[in-house]
Amino acid sequence: MKTHKTVYLLGSGFSKAAGAPLGRELMEKIFDQHDKPNINKMKHWIYKHIFPTKKDWISNCEIDELISRLTLHCYYNNQCQHTSEILNVIIKELANSVNCQLDKADFAIYRNFIERLKPRDTVITLNYDTILERSGIKGKTRNLLKLHGSISWSWCSRCKYYTFHSSWQTGMICPKCHYPLLPLIVPPQITIAEHYSPLIPFYNYAINAIKKSDRIVIIGYSLPATDYDIKMLLLLGIKQNPRKIPIYIINGPHCDIKNYEILRRHLIKIKMTAEDWLKLQ
């Protein structure tokens, strides 16, 4: 009996059931720490240099947008040290905040999802968190592609050393240049090829998986206009796939199907949230 090759594409909605803080929730968790003087100083600097026309930027900005803007500010200001230091602090705070929340989470519905995976399936996730790892995916499939990095991976922003094998923790030092290591996190608006070359092979693997798949299941992801890399990845993989594969969309009953029409395939909208769908697995 033939088994399907399914590609699962996971967005932030997939992680919601575990209580993982989403974009704006993370902003509030990071910047509402009034007991940390450096956070208050950062808020003033970011308002002045990054969001000069947005007084309410904390409540109206996604964490991905902030990291993207800081990365670009650093890049176009010749690796401005102060911007780089602020970016590093925010990435560390993000990782610690997510880990703190996941330490209290129940992963039962995610374990059920993982148990249903077939050896030929591929899971592409755009989430930084470690929900899948904590739920036991390592022993189930080797085809886990984290295209936007992970809070558990480490890299050095100075010499570009990286490792996927040791879980990042505060205080880790680069073994090559002795600079503090950071979680390897890639905001979606940043071009992967220029800034985060370690992840390029994952994009190639993802395109190849889509090219050979029998179906795609998109869970908790709205395919926003700013995710150029993901749109191109999907289009390239689908174009090279000789079959007219169906694409299932699980992103709540009110998600706009028009966001996905660029994929030009048979779109099947499942009117459930990612959490409700996971509970049925």
Q: What is the mean pLDDT of the chain?
A: 87
Q: Are 64 and 187 a contacting pair, CB within 8 Å? A: yes
Q: H or E segment at 216?
A: strand 215-219
Scanning the chain, the segments in alpha helix (DSSP H) are 12-15, 23-31, 37-49, 63-76, 81-102, 108-115, 131-134, 192-195, 200-211, 228-239, 274-279
Taking only the tens place, the pLDDT of each residue in 141-200 is: 778 999 989 999 998 888 888 888 767 888 899 999 999 898 988 876 655 555 567 888
Comparing 67 with 197, which gets the higher pLDDT?
67
Q: What is the pLDDT of residue 196?
A: 63
Q: Distance between the two ends of the chain, CA-based, in angstroms?
A: 22
More confident residue, 129 or 188: 129
User: Is 70:61 a contact under the CB 8 Å cutoff?
Assistant: no
Map out the domains of the chain as residue ranges.
Answer: 6-19+105-148+186-279, 23-102
- pLDDT score of 1: 46
Alpha-carbon span 200 to 135, nearest angstrom: 26
Gap between the Cα atoms of 251 and 271, Å rounded: 7
Which residue, 183, 178, 144, is CA-closest to 163? 183
Which amino acid does the sequence have at 141?
A: T
In this prediction, what percent of the chain has a pLDDT beyond 70?
Answer: 94
SS3 state of residue 151 = strand
* Weakest mean pLDDT among 16-30, 73-87, 133-147, 205-219: 73-87
Asked whether the predicted pLDDT for residue 91 surpasses 50, the reply is yes
Residue 104 confidence (pLDDT): 92
Q: Using one digit for the tens of pLDDT, what is the confidence trace for 193-221?
A: 555 678 888 999 999 999 999 999 999 99
The token pair at 140 is 């189930």
Mean pLDDT of 99-105: 91
Q: What is the pTM of this model?
A: 0.89
Predicted confidence band of residue 71 (pLDDT cuts 50, 70, 90): confident
Residue 64 has pLDDT above 50, yes or no: yes
Alpha-carbon distance 58 to 126, whole Å?
Answer: 22
Tokens at residue 222, please?
A: 């709205």
CATH architecture of 6-19+105-148+186-279: 3-Layer(aba) Sandwich (3.40)
In whole angstroms, what is the distance from residue 119 CA to residue 5 CA?
9
Mean pLDDT of the 9-35 span:
87
User: Is the predicted pLDDT of residue 102 greater than 60, yes or no?
Assistant: yes
Pick the range with the lowest mean pLDDT from 5-19, 69-83, 91-105, 148-162. Answer: 69-83
Q: What pLDDT is recorded for position 40?
A: 87
pLDDT tens-digit map of 230-281:
888 999 999 999 998 999 999 998 888 888 888 877 899 999 999 999 988 7
